Amino acid sequence: MPTISKIYKLGKTQRELDFVNINPGRDLPLFLNPFVFSSRTDAFSIDASRVVQGFFQHNLDLISNNREALARSNFRHLNEPNETCFGLSRRKPSGRGIDTDGANKIFDSILTSAALSSGLVEHLENTAIFIDGIGRDKVSDMTTNIIKQKLIKYTQSQCELLGIPLRPSTPSGFYWDPTGKRWDQKRTDMLVINRKRILFVPKALVSYVKEFTQSRYHQHFALEFLQDDHLERNTSLVQTTYDKNGSIRRRFVTKKDLKANELTSDKNELLEFTKRHPEVFKDFREKTSKMVMPLEDSDLETINVDLLIEHLINTLKKIPPGSDSASEYHDLMIGILEFIFYPNLINPIKELEVNEGRKRIDISFDNGAPSGGFFYRLQHSLSIPCRYIYIECKNYSKDINNPELDQMVGRLAPNKGKFGIIMCRDLKDKTLFMRRCADSYKSDHGLIVPLVDEDIIKILEQKKKSISHYEDKILSDRSREIMNL
């Protein structure tokens, strides 16, 4: 079966899509892990992390309050999350998630584990480190079910953005209601392919789970801590090498000796070690969170990027300004924006569409910039709220004016974001529009920056030369110019 892009003839590569461009007939070895959410600062990740943590903590509280039966019943809905087409199946998605018996086994593993009383499983992802029978696949299965409502809304928004048809009044399947603290289901618009419900997942949130693993914690944190400890105590495991003159060259403890004599990678042994040295696991979580990076598009798709860039530039140049070509321009820009700004901007959502003789599409992105870069500096250096980044695409044949600026100003607010980008084909009187943007900024209406075709083409050409973050330079230079006018 072809990918989503080909099924719906979107004409877009993975680099132009915010979600993983799955093949509904084959699983991808990708996973959802709450640790990835907790390491990110975008709105989607924060909300998803809150839902997962709320579910897990609620059920731990039920257990501690002797309401084990209710907690066990909550685990029964953590089954068959095959709508995302993620997992370890080699061919057709098997729905090999957690069946009822499997859910009971997982619940019993958590219930009877010494990790429960130790407080080391306060986060769902920690179960994969300390509890037998739970690995990255089971954590991903549980996470998918718990945040299913968010994935449904995300899928709906992406389908609306790209014109993918949804089937109305389709059973959603069970999802966790964080407000009511219960499982719920409803009929809603769903993407259905070959009688199977499909859920999209933001590519910035998926992982191969190579960093937050039992083996990495054991090998690079627990054993290295023990190496230092044995060296400090000068135990019998310490080996010494000498120079020819008899002076000590090196003292060391091998991990092989530690595994044989003190700490294997067995989860129960790791748990007991961590109970004695909780600071080591805390260090593991903190340092690993800084290593978690969004997947590269090249991890998901192999294409000739130079050819894609040439295609995008040539297509942009061929689209004539004016209302007749507005939809074509908007469609192209959605993909170009994703290509240029990922992973700093994610989760594009169509905000508003108006046809008053001039078609217009407004898009908001979640600001997912982890650290550094223009969108990070906006908030942390310039004190401009920017949880969401608002973008308007205007395929005008004439210069944009005050009405268009006012439309953007009307959408900006401190609790959502006070930065916006107006994209248009050209500005013949750029100086005048920049002054208008400066007036808006000085009046505390927000910082609004224009980008024209020439800017987009320059950014794409720099990417072709493997020069990264040129978009940051353009946005930084233009923002500085507006602020100083």
The mean pLDDT of 216-245, rounded to a whole number, is 95
Confidence of residue 428 (pLDDT cuts 50, 70, 90): very high
Q: In the chain, pLDDT over 90 holds for what percent of residues?
A: 78
Q: Which residue has the higher pLDDT, 411 or 341?
A: 341
Q: In the chain, pLDDT over 70 holds for what percent of residues?
A: 95
Confidence of residue 292 (pLDDT cuts 50, 70, 90): confident
Confidence of residue 97 (pLDDT cuts 50, 70, 90): very low
Confidence of residue 91 (pLDDT cuts 50, 70, 90): very low
**Tally of CB atoms within 10 A around 90:** 8
**Angle subtended by helix axes 43-64 and 68-75, to nearest 10:** 140
Specify the pLDDT at position 85.
94
Specify the pLDDT at position 56.
95
Q: Which of 379, 52, 8 has the alpha carbon at shortest distance from 205? A: 52
Confidence of residue 151 (pLDDT cuts 50, 70, 90): very high
Specify the pLDDT at position 352.
57
pLDDT above 60 for 90: no
Specify the pLDDT at position 293.
87
The mean pLDDT of 288-293, rounded to a whole number, is 90
Q: Which residue has the higher pLDDT, 218 or 117?
A: 218
Q: Which of 301, 363, 333 has the alpha carbon at shortest distance from 158? A: 363
For residues 212 and 35, is the Cβ–Cβ distance under 8 A? Answer: yes
pLDDT above 80 for 102: no
pLDDT above 50 for 355: no
Phi and psi, residue 340, nearest 5°: -75, -45
Least confident range of 96-110, 378-392, 412-426: 96-110
The mean pLDDT of 97-111, rounded to a whole number, is 76
Kindly report the pTM of this predicted structure.
0.91
Q: What is the mean pLDDT of the chain?
A: 91
Domains and CATH numbers, the chain: 4-8+22-207 (no CATH), 214-289 (no CATH), 304-484 (3.40.91)
For residues 478 and 485, is the Cβ–Cβ distance under 8 A? Answer: no
Across the strands, what pairs with 423?
393, 451
Q: Which of 229, 220, 223 has the alpha carbon at shortest distance from 287? A: 220
Confidence of residue 357 (pLDDT cuts 50, 70, 90): very low
pLDDT above 70 for 124: yes
pLDDT above 50 for 421: yes
Q: How far apart are CA 365 and CA 338, in angstroms?
A: 10
pLDDT above 90 for 114: no
Maximum alpha-carbon separation in the chain = 90
Q: Which of 425, 365, 378, 429 has the alpha carbon at shortest distance from 402? A: 429
Q: How far apart are CA 176 and CA 124, in angstroms?
A: 15
Confidence of residue 191 (pLDDT cuts 50, 70, 90): very high
Both tokens assigned to 331: 């469609």
pLDDT above 50 for 358: no
Specify the pLDDT at position 247.
87
